[in-house]
Structure 1
Amino acid sequence: MNIAFFVNDLATEYPNYATTFLAWQARQRGHDVYYVTPGDFLLQGNDDLCVHARQVPSGKSKDHTLFFKTLRSKSSKRVMLNVRELDVLMLRNDPANDVQDKPWAAEAGILWGRECVKRGVLVINDPDSLSRATNKLYFQSFPREVRAETIITRHADDVKAFAKKHKNEIILKPLQGSGGSGVFKLGKDNKTNLNQMIEAITRDGYVIAQEYVPAAKRGDIRLFIMNGHPLEVNGKYAALRREQAKDDIRSNIHAGGKAVEAQVTETELKVAEIIRPKLVADGMFLVGIDIVGDKILEVNVFSPGNLVTCSKMAGEDFSAPIIEALERKVAIKRDYAHDFDNRHLAII
């Protein structure tokens, strides 16, 4: 199959990114692999949609790091494709990374992804559903029983009342953004800084105020969900625990958090099962959920990371079942072209 990976920018891709891992696995299995960025699309006068894609030469690499070197090498070339030649477009960008410097690019994957769907390409995750997930308000559509109590506002008095209700133990973060950017923890030792926290966040939009879950002190568990179910190979789950740095409340790896092995228990599996119907209804093929105790703190539907680390810790290659699932979906699409829309096909 012909599979394209949509990313923010080739210059900001790295060897250990989950996208690299998936692209490597697709190439290992004999598929033609392409990379696409927000500025690469061309809508022709006859309504043909084409794309200036970077094609990775065919062949195999020992591992994903060598694949990445091939991607960056001169042997990787630019080609013009009609999108109808693609079987799969996998949207692996993070819109939040483009909002400030390239606002035109933030929703390019969603916009052009919809056009690709119209032309018969399997686009995952489903772009229509992704359009509703470009900020953290999407998180509020998941069942309340697995969400920490939350308010979203731009009024300081609302936040202060919420903080008082929770004895000044809350988390504050922006409605838009990712990667732990702009996240504050209010505690008894810094409650006098609440005004500054609110001002820092509301300068760019709405503030999310969330009750603090004490179990967060032990970090959170990142668990991959594929086709609505926890991703599992030989009894091992694609999961890890992200522990906070000593001087930081965030467990994000690039923010100083530390990845350690996670024991996925009935608690995490129950949380995954509770949110499964929503993920299935929205055509969310591959997501990463962040769990603390019996609550989810975040649902990453755009570009969930740490797949390489999960594979190393478990001693299993979690990229293989993901590409296998795409192969099966493409086969179903070819045999039953008119029986499934993109959202249904993304999750079966």
Structure 2
Amino acid sequence: MKICFVLNKIETEKPATSVALMTKAHTKGHEVYVMGVGGFNFESGGIITLNTKQVPTGVSTKSPKNYLELLQSPKAKNKIIVSTDLDVLFIRNNPTEEGASRHWAEQSGIAFGRMIQQQGVLVLNDAYALSNAFIDKLYFEELPKSIKPASIISRKKENILSFWEKNNKRMVLKPLEGSGGKNVYLIDEHEKNINQIIETISSDGYVIAQEYLPAVKNGDVRVLLMNGRVLEENGEKAIIKRVSSKGEFRSNFKQGAVADSSELTKEMKHIIDLTAPKLIKDGLFFVGLDIVKDKLIEINVLSPGGLDRFSEIDLPDFTTTVIEAIERKLYYKEKYKGQLSNKVLATMY
């Protein structure tokens, strides 16, 4: 298959989930193209071309790190391809990681993804689903109340302070659009700078205040779902516990958390069972859930990660399962010849 991965920028990419998936597709002999979100070109008449880079098919790569080194080196081929020559467009750029000077980049991947999807190319996750879930913390609020902590989303300081009072003067504050644990604060009764923190976060947009869950001190669990099911390979499940570093309540790997193993508990299964129907209906192929005990605290639909961390707990990287699932979708697409929508194919097992 011909598959193109859309990243924020090739130059700044790290050897994490996206690169692991590219590497596996490459080693399986597929034509893998990679582009930054600024590489789309639209011509009158509806032609869309993509400025891509490629590690030539047949070039041996020892690891995702080695693949990325080749991709970022002069050895990679620059190639302009027509969108309709692709079989798959995999949108993997994370809009929340774009800086103030690149606001244009935040929605470009999804917008061009919708156009390419209309041309008949398989787009993952479904581009219209990504549009609807673009602010994933708002999409999170569409899920059943019973599996979520109490929360409020506002830019009004009085509303947030009232929520704090109602929750025994303990809450977690974070920007509505953000990732990696950046600008996330635990606010308790001893916090003297609460007004300043609220003003700082709200200066960049909406603030989400969330009920503090005491169990978070033991870390959280990232569960990767594919087609609405827990991602599995060789009988192992893509579940990883993120244990916070000492003195840190945030469990993000970017904030120094370390990986640990975790079983699939009945509480996790209940959350997945309630979340999966919506993900399947909406066409969200690859999704990350962050769970603390019996509560879902965050959903990641734009660029879920973690595949690069499983080796730390002696689990497979699960990339074979993901790439084989995409291969099956193309098989179904060919056999049904237009009868199955992109949304249906995106979550078809």
**Which TM-score band (shorter chain)?**
over 0.9
Evaluate the alpha carbon distance shift between residue 315 and residue 245 of structure 1 in structure 2; reply closer, same or farther with a 3 A threshold: closer
Q: Which runs of 5+ in 2 are unaligned?
A: none
- Equivalent residue runs for 1:243-262 within 5 Å: 243-262=243-262
- Paired residue type of 2:123: V
What CA deviation, in whole Å up to 9, does each residue of 1:35-92 have, x standing for no partner? 0112211112232111111122112323222222221232211111111111111111
**Partners in 2 of 1:106 and 1:306 — Cα distance?**
22
**Partners in 1 of 2:218 and 2:77 — Cα distance?**
46
Structure 2 partner of 1:305: 305
- Equivalent residue runs for 1:153-192 within 5 Å: 153-190=154-191, 192=192
Structure 2 partner of 1:149: 150
Q: Is the 8 A contact 1:230 1:269 kept in 2?
A: no
Structure 2 partner of 1:22: 21
Q: Please identify runs of 4+ aligned residues in structure 1 that moved more than 6 A.
A: none
Q: Is the 8 A contact 1:134 1:176 kept in 2?
A: no
Matched, 1:45 2:47: no
- Give 1:315 deviation, angstroms: 3.1
**Partners in 1 of 2:281 and 2:314 — Cα distance?**
30
**Partners in 2 of 1:321 and 1:176 — Cα distance?**
30
**Partners in 2 of 1:156 and 1:64 — Cα distance?**
45
Q: What percent of counterpart residues are identical?
A: 39
- Paired residue type of 1:102: R
What CA deviation, in whole Å up to 9, does each residue of 1:151-176 have, x standing for no partner? 11111111111111110111111111
**Partners in 2 of 1:99 and 1:140 — Cα distance?**
26
What CA deviation, in whole Å up to 9, does each residue of 1:67-123 have, x standing for no partner? 222212322111111111111111111011125220111101110000110111111
Q: Is the 8 A contact 2:6 2:36 kept in 1?
A: yes
Further displaced range: 322-331 or 72-81: 72-81
**Partners in 1 of 2:313 and 2:2 — Cα distance?**
30
- Give 1:312 deviation, angstroms: 4.4
- Paired residue type of 1:306: G
- Give 1:18 deviation, angstroms: 0.4
Give the secondary-structure state (helix, strand or coil) at the position aligned to 2:338: coil
Structure 1 partner of 2:214: 214
TM-score normalised by length of structure 1: 0.96
- Give 1:253 deviation, angstroms: 0.7
Give the secondary-structure state (helix, strand or coil) at the position aligned to 1:171: strand
Aligned residues: 346
Further displaced range: 255-264 or 124-133: 255-264
TM-score normalised by length of structure 2: 0.96
Structure 2 partner of 1:289: 289
- Give 1:309 deviation, angstroms: 1.2
Structure 1 partner of 2:128: 128
**Partners in 2 of 1:134 and 1:211 — Cα distance?**
23
